[in-house]
Amino acid sequence: MASKYDLKKSNNGKFMFNLKAGNGQVILTSEMYEAKAGAENGIESVRKNGIEEKRFERRESKKKEPYFVLKAGNGQIIGRSEMYKSNAAMENGIQSVIKNAADAKLDDQT
């Protein structure tokens, strides 16, 4: 199974996407967008920025769980990861985004 972007319309009428690795696991979730075009632009931004290590910001939740966000060149958050149990697992998630971001196919489910 190849990596892909799942583009969806949520119950509130907004658009979002998930980047999924080849095994189907979600490795990055977007912000909500008012318009489908905004979500499509977000996917293109992940394709461009998701291959650059410097665009990832490592963070820690209030529960001390590591996670990361992916930022565009202007500093805006494009997407975020799940909460991980360890820093090593988070680093694996970042490497998975770097590996899959540019070439993942679009699965438009809207």
The answer on pLDDT for 53 being more than 70 is yes
In a domain, 39, yes or no: yes
In a domain, 85, yes or no: yes
The answer on pLDDT for 1 being more than 80 is no
In a domain, 41, yes or no: yes
In a domain, 109, yes or no: no
The CATH number linked to 42 is: 2.30.29.80
Query: Whole domain around residue 80: which residue ranges?
Result: 4-103
Q: Give the chain's domain count.
A: 1
Cα 14 from Cα 78, distance rounded (Å)? 15
Phi, psi for residue 84 in degrees, rounded to 5? -105, 160
In a domain, 108, yes or no: no
Half-sphere exposure of 9 (CA within 13 A, CB side): 8
* Res 16: pLDDT: 97
The answer on pLDDT for 2 being more than 90 is no
In a domain, 75, yes or no: yes
Cα 20 from Cα 100, distance rounded (Å)? 8
* Res 82: pLDDT: 95
In a domain, 91, yes or no: yes
Cα 106 from Cα 52, distance rounded (Å)? 20
pTM listed for this prediction = 0.93
Closest CA to 46 of 20, 79, 75: 79
* Res 66: pLDDT: 98
Tokens of 9: 């319309």
- Average pLDDT value for residue range 60-82: 96
In a domain, 110, yes or no: no
- Average pLDDT value for residue range 26-37: 96
Average pLDDT, the chain: 96
